[in-house]
Amino acid sequence: MPELKVVLGKRIRELRSKNGFSQEGFADHCGLHRTYMGGIERGEHNLTIETLMTVSKGLEMTMSDLLSDIEKQVEPVKSPPRIARKRGSS
């Protein structure tokens, strides 16, 4: 299964294209650099919550709509191993 950044990038690319934007035009519309937008679409960047909001507003949708169903397409994140605490420790 693909990782989250890749799936999100593909979704952004698909929605951008549906809205008739070129990659450069959409980056400009969002106030982001075109090479950064290309990296987002290729799954090369971890987006901050602010950038995610900027992109979703550029697509005229909510962040929840942008992210809907994405978790079904990615591998679950593995939980780190639990570290046992000694009794009496807080």
Phi and psi at 83, nearest 5°, equal: -105, 125
Domains present along the chain, CATH in parentheses: 4-66 (1.10.260.40)
Average pLDDT in the 41-62 region? 96
**Residue 21 pLDDT greater than 80, yes or no:** yes
Average pLDDT in the 56-63 region? 96
**Residue 86 pLDDT greater than 80, yes or no:** no
Q: Is 53 helix (H, G, I), strand (E, B) or coil?
A: helix
Q: What is the pLDDT of residue 90?
A: 56
Q: How many CA atoms lie within 13 A of 50 on its CB side?
A: 2
pLDDT confidence tier of residue 77, bands split at 50, 70 and 90:
low
